[in-house]
Amino acid sequence: MKLTKESKIQYLFFILVLFSCQYKPENTLVKGHWKYEKVTENGVKIMEIGDNDILIINNDSFFYSIESVDKHMEGTWSYTNHTLHFHYNIPDTTRHFEIDLLSDKLLKMHEGDFQFEFKRIKMD
């Protein structure tokens, strides 16, 4: 089969598009600096979010700060089956957040009736 000039161009375009797409596994995509956008319970806003309310997920640790309720927590994390597991240092406990949406820009997750929405502010 001989390629025509048009089919060669289409083939090259396809290859360029293919190589420009970068797949990131979810456990890599979740890493970064996130800003709290909204915290709700059954769809009802339960707290005011400030400009400094953040969640940071590094290679093996996490930290979050919600100044409006004076809550600052840290620990380690793991990720399995679309669930983010936070293993807190103090108190010694683990919480499980099911991921509803994860992209380069947005993170939405829930734990029971509580929904958490974040906007990425920095990629790790």
Task: For residue range 41-52, list pLDDT tens digits in order.
Answer: 999 999 999 999
Residue-range definition of the domain harbouring residue 36: 26-123
| Model pTM score | 0.78
Asked whether residue 40 is domain-assigned, the answer is yes
Count Cβ atoms below 10 Å from residue 110 Cβ, excluding itself: 15
pLDDT band (50, 70, 90) for residue 18: very low
Q: pLDDT, tens digit, for every residue of 57-95?
A: 999 999 999 998 999 999 999 999 999 999 999 999 999
Distance in angstroms (rounded) separating the CA atoms of residues 72 and 112: 21
Does 13 reside within a domain?
A: no
Is 6 among the domain residues? no
pLDDT of residue 28: 85
Instruction: Flag whether 15 is in a domain.
Output: no
Distance CA 16, CA 19 (A): 5
Using CB atoms within 10 Å of the CB of residue 8, give its burial: 0 to 12 exposed, 13 to 18 middle, 19+ buried: exposed
Q: Quick one: pLDDT band at residue 39, thresholds 50, 70, 90?
A: very high
Question: CA 81 → CA 35, 57, 78, 84, distances in Å?
Answer: 24, 18, 10, 8
User: Which tokens in the block code for residue 15?
Assistant: 């290859």
The confidence score (pLDDT) of residue 6 equals 73
Residue with tokens 């059954």: 42
Q: Is the residue at 116 inside a domain?
A: yes
CATH of the domain at 51: 2.40.128.280
The residue with tokens 């290859």 is 15
Residue 10 lies in a domain: no
Number of domains in the chain: 1
More confident residue, 122 or 41: 41
